[in-house]
Amino acid sequence: MRAARLIKMVLLLQSRPAMTAAELARELEVSERTVTRDAQALSEAGVPVYADRGRAGGYRLIGGYRTRLTGLGRSEAEALFLSGVPGALREMGLEDAASAATLKVSAALMPSLRDASRSAAQRFHLDAPNWFKEPKTPELLPVVADAVWDDRRIVARYRRGESEVGRELEPYGLVLKAGVWYLCARVAGHGSYRVYRIDRFTAVDRGEERFERDGEFDLPGFWEERAEQFARSLLRAEVVVRVSPGGVRRLPYTVDPQSVREALRAADAPDGDGWVTLTLPVESEEVAHTQLAALGPEVEVLAPQSLRERFTDDAIRLAALYGA
């Protein structure tokens, strides 16, 4: 336990110019007296920890001291090498930088851990694109990624319907969703955050002016909220269906799972045959026809009548096809 605490203390002092005994005690969850003893132990072990006395005093490392990463365990080292997504790094133009960083970290590890990158790569692989879709790297992605890393404003033109629109943007972050790249950006001078598909950009001019990032912006949280809003915005129609117990189990795989959960919570108890009647939000009647057809005889459409008639026609054609 103490060894791990000493390593953490050294890493904390490496990451900041100096820290007071109170700050170290808070980070290490020990008393200030323990911090004093630990600093003395490190000094005796050859780690140049220097103590400044007085009200503004504290602890710091002298002489640009840096520790090697010999404190990493195998699982930690393998997790580190899993942190990059090779395909995404390549598309953003960061493959060389990632390769160099991997080599540097590997060189710093103990010999027994230097196969961690190969060990992790042979056991886990992330394949982001959807099945049966040939992923296409947007031509302007490296320019946008460079601006994201450097906090530089861009002037972008993108397709919106049949026209092109220009915007000055503050690029906050990139998201790779099912093989499609998106930019989360704030419109310069507007204050609102928006999402843009990068493959719809027709031109991007990376400016020299940097912007000041909002420290409260949370990219994963923002994306989750917008993705849910987008999914909800697509559900503009409703259908009423009667579903068998087997159909209920399969329904979340054909229709929006969240909508299914909400519909089940609002539904009445199943009938004598175990079938339940649900009101489901759907994108359109055409989409609902395709989705619900996957359930076959496990679902009966009750409304709207036009959709029920589609399934009636399907049933007649199937009966004729199979010679019932």
d(CA 274, CA 163): 52
Return all residues near 293 (Cβ < 8 A) that are at least 6 apart.
Answer: 311, 314
Return all residues near 2 (Cβ < 8 A) that are at least 6 apart.
Answer: 38
Predicted TM-score of the model (pTM):
0.55
Over residues 273-284, the pLDDT tens digits come to 999 999 999 988
Give the pLDDT band (50/70/90) at residue 191.
confident
What's the confidence (pLDDT) of residue 170? Answer: 93
d(CA 166, CA 264): 45
CB distance 35 to 21 below 8 Å: yes
Return the biggest CA–CA distance within the chain. 95
**Is residue 193 exposed (0-12), middle (13-18) or buried (19+ Cβ within 10 Å)?**
middle
Over residues 26-82, the pLDDT tens digits come to 888 899 899 999 888 888 878 888 888 766 678 888 876 766 554 555 555 555 555
Give the pLDDT band (50/70/90) at residue 215.
confident
Q: Reply yes or no: is the peptide bond before residue 297 cis, omega within 30 of 0.
A: no
Q: What is the three-class DSSP state of 187?
A: strand
Q: Give me the residues paired with residue 162 across strands.
A: none
Angle at 40 between CA 59 and CA 4, to 5 degrees: 85
Task: State the residue for tokens 């042979």.
Answer: 122
- Tokens representing 43? 């000094």
- Tokens representing 17? 């110019």
Over residues 242-300, the pLDDT tens digits come to 999 999 999 999 988 888 998 999 999 999 999 999 999 998 899 999 999 999 999 99
**Half-sphere exposure of residue 187, counting CA atoms within 13 Å on the CB side?**
11
d(CA 190, CA 219): 18
Q: Which of 186, 162, 91 is nearest to 129 (CA)?
A: 91
The H or E element containing residue 282 is: strand 276-282
Question: 140-171: b or e for each residue (b if 16 or more CB lie within 10 Å)?
Answer: bbebbbbbbeeebbbebebeeeeeeeeebbbb
CB distance 47 to 57 below 8 Å: no
Distance from chain centroid for Cα 28: 30
